[in-house]
Amino acid sequence: MSFHRVILGVVLVFVPFVARAGAPSANISARFTAIQAQLNALNKRLRRLERILPQHSSPSDAIVATAAGAATAPPSAAPPRVRPEPTAYRKPEKLRASWKKLQRGLSRTKLRQLLGKPRSKLVLGRQTLWYYRYPGIGGGSVILDNDGKVTGWQEPPFRGW
């Protein structure tokens, strides 16, 4: 939960009590003053944190206090969507069949034709590991030698398929 939402929650919890009161009494005024002091302290802390971590603050995250005393937060932008690899769109049966076609000595080119581009690669001495990850299925890996030929692999779990 973001710091801004915490402040918004604190303010929204106390606003109904102030609104129902009608004429402000000394007790409500004291509570309001205490809440205002706490809000000011939180805003001061927020500004200090934003100076320390400027990459984490943005104007769209700011809380805006209205004249009535209620606080509203502008809607935040939706997180960026990660586009799955093209092979993730295949039906699990076809993907499993592609993994079953793997064999030792298969070239890098044929491997790409079967499984597509790997999500990541890791070079370990004279071997290279290609990692594949499929949403809802799991991950697998293929080991290639110095010449780019398949020497081994671990298929995704294909749970329930």
Question: What pTM does this model have?
Answer: 0.45
Identify the segments of the chain with pLDDT beneath 70: 1-26, 53-90, 159-161
> Based on the number of CB atoms within 10 Å of its own CB, is 54 exposed (0-12), middle (13-18) or buried (19 or more)?
exposed
Q: State residue 154's pLDDT score.
A: 94
Q: State residue 57's pLDDT score.
A: 43
Give me the CATH code for the 86-154 domain, please.
3.30.1450.10
Q: State residue 83's pLDDT score.
A: 52
Where in the chain are the domains? 3-72, 86-154
Q: State residue 160's pLDDT score.
A: 58
Task: Count the alpha carbons within 13 Å of 13 in the hemisphere toward its beta carbon.
Answer: 9
The full length of the chain comes to: 161
